[in-house]
Amino acid sequence: MLEEAQDVGFNYVVWSEGTMPGWPVIPSDLSFFDTYGAAQEHWQDLTIFDDTPVWEEAPVYYFRSVEVMLEDIKKANGLTKEQDMNYNNLENLKDELSKLGFGKKVAEDMQKQMEKGAGSFELHDRVMGSKGQVDLTLHFRQSGQSENYYLNKYDVRLLNGKPLAEGEKYLVIRPNEKEPGKNDVKSFDQVEQAISFFKVQHGDALLAAGKDAGHKTDLARMEQGNVNYLEKDFARTYKNPGIGQTFFVERGKGFTAEQAVNLIQGRAVFRDDLIKLGGEPYAAWNKLDMDNQKDRYHNFQMLQYHVPTYGFILKDTLDKFQIKEMGDEQKAGKLMRELEKGNRPLVTVLKGDHEQKLFMETSPRYGQLNFFREDGRPEKREQFLKPEHQQEIKLGKEKGQAKEQEQGLTV
């Protein structure tokens, strides 16, 4: 509690020694202040205006700096610098990672880094999306006032090219300047970092992918600072490693990893826990605006389609189509949850008398659903509409054609 108070700028604390002298201090006894003057004034008020009856022993009031109090507590508990990791902070961060949908391995890697006591560190993860490999980088930093760590943001990048195989890394191999005949090998989890490091080399260097230097595939080669070889399938990735986005989070609240992965693949996700600047909650479908330039922070702008004001209601839209899963309440609920996360679930649609398996995703901007074959090719949605809604589209087209003809006559 003292460390968290210090992190947000409260440098002084006033408290009483429990209800009576010698009693243990509990959190509700502590009052925090940002300035010395405010803390001193409160301490004096407690001392002067204490209304304890004269026949009872009055509590003792204390006034100290948070920093000194923390040091005393650590010394009293025999904590060394190596033992000084805040395990409450660790458990809180594990809970945040769980809420954001990151796996057990990320949490284990985080604990190892925290135990080392580094001022800041990055963790990496990767998932296979429907449009290719998505790399994730989580950024942790330590408070300047305490040993607490914070996760404030993470990056996602959709790889433009062939993904790594299981257990592989990107490798940059260079001659060792101090020991002729030997090489230095630097490994990377993400292609963008590997390419950036490779490009700044001035001598001979090799960029490869593999489990180690003895089991690798050459991707790019450099002699005396000039690239003289690019593997054919890797050339596109080398020139453009992919598209990325930074997502900011606060204490485990924000877009989850699953939502972020789907957003960077161009799909929309639904959130009902959004807050306006004035503090009013709202719900909306969210989609990255990839048709326009990024902002000054190199992020795509976020398009939002508010619910219900924009008009796209997922269940109402699903009910217009002949989707077999919508006939089962349990399966319908699961399908809607998957679509809200931005996923592309496989559904069974009726086309005439025949069933067909297709992938489906939402298109809130146009109030529609999109259907895709298993090879990724799109299918016309109109053929899967219920008969009554097919008639609506037909009437709409006829009205549109009549209006065009009318306009043509007036010209």
Percent of the chain with pLDDT over 90: 54
Question: The dihedral of CA 76, 77, 78, 79: what is its sign?
Answer: negative
Lowest mean pLDDT among 71-75, 181-185, 239-243: 71-75
Residue 396 pLDDT > 50: no
pLDDT value, residue 399: 47
What's the one-letter identity of residue 71? E
Q: Is 280 helix (H, G, I), strand (E, B) or coil?
A: coil
Lowest mean pLDDT among 136-145, 358-367, 399-408: 399-408
DSSP class of residue 317? Answer: H
Q: What is the mean pLDDT of residues 301-306?
A: 96
pLDDT value, residue 96: 96
pLDDT value, residue 410: 37
How far apart are the C-alpha atoms of 139 and 150, rounded to whole Å?
8
Place of tokens 């490091």: 197
Q: What is the mean pLDDT of residues 260-283?
A: 94
Phi, psi of 149 (to 5 degrees): -105, 155
**Which one, of 238, 219, 240, lies nearest residue 168 by Cα?**
219
Q: How confident is the model at residue 408 (pLDDT cuts 50, 70, 90)?
A: very low
Percent of the chain with pLDDT over 70: 87
Q: What is the mean pLDDT of residues 179-202?
A: 90
